[in-house]
Amino acid sequence: MFQPEVERMRITFLGAAGEVTGSQHLIETSHRRILLDCGFFQGRRAESRKKNETFHCDPENLDAVILSHAHIDHCGNLPQLYRKGFRGPVFCTDATADIAEIMLMDSAKIQREDAKYLSRKLEGDHPPIEPLYTSKDVQGLIENFEPCPFSEWQSLSENNEVRLRFQPAGHVLGSAIVELEVKDGTEQKRIVFSGDLGRRGMPLLKDPVPIEGADVLICESTYGSRVHPPSQDIKTQLKKIIGDAYVNGGRVIIPAFSFGRTQQIVYFLNELINNRELFCLPMFLDSPLASRLTHVFRKYDHTLDSDVQETLKFDDDPFGFSCLTEVENQQKSIELNKRRGAFVVIAASGMCENGRVVHHLKQALPHEENSVVLMGYQAPHTTGRQIAEKREFVRIHGRDVACKANIIQLEGLSAHADVVDFKWWFEESTKRGHFGQVFLVHGEPDSAKALSQTIRDYCDEEPIIPQFGDSFEF
Ligand SMILES: [Zn+2]
């Protein structure tokens, strides 16, 4: 365990160091210990369980957590921190607080299933494996959330020793760049954490905000070596795919992540229907998690970009329309299999591995009048990857399913900055201030290295790519 006695300010990287999940960074002064993010490591079940069950800081000794956004690799391990004794405040934006509650409740369910699965795999006579946390831990944690508005300084302590401000990061609803002003004795430092940096011109979200430099910047580097392909006009593509399905009497299956991607698609469909560019054929949102999250988008629609504000002037719900039905339960979801004629289903999960989308795919793939629309990256060995490769047969529930449907892969909705976006953000930010020491996290080694070259000229010091457990004083 890392020792808390600190003479100077210190930062220790406890996750997302040299990899893209498990975001967790500890900032210590002589009086305070603050954790930036407390995310899950994600990957193979047993391996991630091992990484996630141990904390390398003492939960009881932490003064506060600051959460950049509600993706599970940034907030997923917070309930376990609570279970192990952390009772301090969790500062985040108000939308992030609402979304994190939904995501963590869902995650508690997954923890229960994972523990059951791992217990079954145990050989010999062992006590069953406990879930990392339960919904009770999530409830306890949520009570300590301190939702904050964007762009206003908050004091984290009575004597103004630590001040905090959230700025829009343009990555997902509620996502923030975290600005900290930390006083320790006579020293004062400006520490900034990018969280996950988004892109300019993305649907729904306001653009990321350039900042006024920082003494210490912790910056993500997920796509630090990549230039995203030009954004396709997703709305026009959806119009064509669904229009064709209407003519052919086929069904359109859209596997989509519940948080962010689903709401973007529903928003585009709503626009097409408002503009009378699409016939209002039956459409189904078949993911209870996505439905709950969509309610949060409605609650915070006034914080979304100018296009949404324009829509709101004549349409009070940009995330719903008369022919869109939210599917209530598993039974109703399965009943859709018997439905005839053209219709559209948007269902979790994104890479087609589990969730209700699997049975829709099983039904739709063997028939050529149907379409499957894939969005974004499909990891190797996933069902989504097999479909994307247009294999003759796709393995689902242990059986080979013929893949005759029309497969369409749409690009252009990545929520992460690429090289061009990073360059823009660093350039604009250095017009307003300067960067002292930059630490590059949340990226595979090649991405972090490439980004380090790209931003070198915007920093006073050579950027550092920390490894897990690395500690730096400043
Ligand atoms: Zn994220």
The β-bridge partners of 344 are 252, 283
CA of 196 to the centre of ligand 1 (A): 5
* 111 inside domain: yes
Looking at 368, 391, 410, which one is the last position of a domain? 410
Per-residue pLDDT tens, the chain, 474 aa: give them.
Answer: 545 455 689 999 999 888 888 999 999 988 899 999 999 998 777 788 889 999 999 999 999 999 999 999 999 999 999 999 999 999 999 999 999 999 999 999 999 998 998 888 887 778 889 999 999 999 999 999 999 999 999 999 878 889 999 999 999 999 999 999 998 888 899 999 999 999 999 999 999 999 999 999 999 999 999 998 877 789 999 999 999 999 999 999 999 999 999 999 999 999 999 999 999 899 999 999 999 999 999 999 999 999 999 999 999 999 999 999 999 999 999 999 999 999 999 998 768 888 899 999 999 999 999 999 998 778 878 899 999 999 999 999 889 999 999 999 988 788 999 999 999 999 999 999 999 999 999 999 999 999 999 999 999 999 999 999 999 998
Looking at 410, 434, 458, which one is the last position of a domain? 410
* 295 inside domain: yes
In this prediction, residue 224 carries a pLDDT of: 92
* 399 inside domain: yes
* 3 inside domain: no
Residues 207 and 258 in one domain: no
* 1 inside domain: no
Residues 261 and 331 in one domain: yes
CA of 130 to the centre of ligand 1 (A): 27
CA of 41 to the centre of ligand 1 (A): 13
Percentage helix, strand, coil, to 5, in the chain?
Answer: 35, 20, 45
* 460 inside domain: yes
Cβ–Cβ < 8 Å for 252, 373: yes
Residues 405 and 424 in one domain: no
Residues 162 and 297 in one domain: no
CA of 74 to the centre of ligand 1 (A): 7
CA of 442 to the centre of ligand 1 (A): 10
Q: In total, how many domains does the chain have?
A: 2
Domain containing residue 264: 234-410
CA of 193 to the centre of ligand 1 (A): 13
DSSP 462: -
Helices 261-274 & 234-248 angle (0-180, nearest 10):
70
CA of 127 to the centre of ligand 1 (A): 35
The CATH number of residue 161's host domain is 3.60.15.10
CA of 222 to the centre of ligand 1 (A): 10
Cβ–Cβ < 8 Å for 465, 15: no
CA of 285 to the centre of ligand 1 (A): 23
The CATH number of residue 309's host domain is 3.40.50.10890
Residues 314 and 222 in one domain: no
Q: What would the DSSP string read from start to end of 402-460? A: E--SEEEEE-----S--HHHHHHHHHHHHHHS-EEEEEEESS-HHHHHHHHHHHGGGBS
CA of 322 to the centre of ligand 1 (A): 32
- This model's pTM is above 0.75: yes
Residues 405 and 429 in one domain: no
CA of 69 to the centre of ligand 1 (A): 7
In this prediction, residue 42 carries a pLDDT of: 86
Residues 134 and 270 in one domain: no
Residues 119 and 202 in one domain: yes
Residues 137 and 204 in one domain: yes
Residues 128 and 239 in one domain: no
* 5 inside domain: no
CA of 202 to the centre of ligand 1 (A): 15
Residues 208 and 253 in one domain: no
In this prediction, residue 7 carries a pLDDT of: 65
In this prediction, residue 464 carries a pLDDT of: 97
CA of 186 to the centre of ligand 1 (A): 35
CA of 71 to the centre of ligand 1 (A): 5
Ligand 1 ion: nearby residues, β-carbon < 5 Å: 71, 196
Residues 375 and 449 in one domain: no
In this prediction, residue 5 carries a pLDDT of: 54
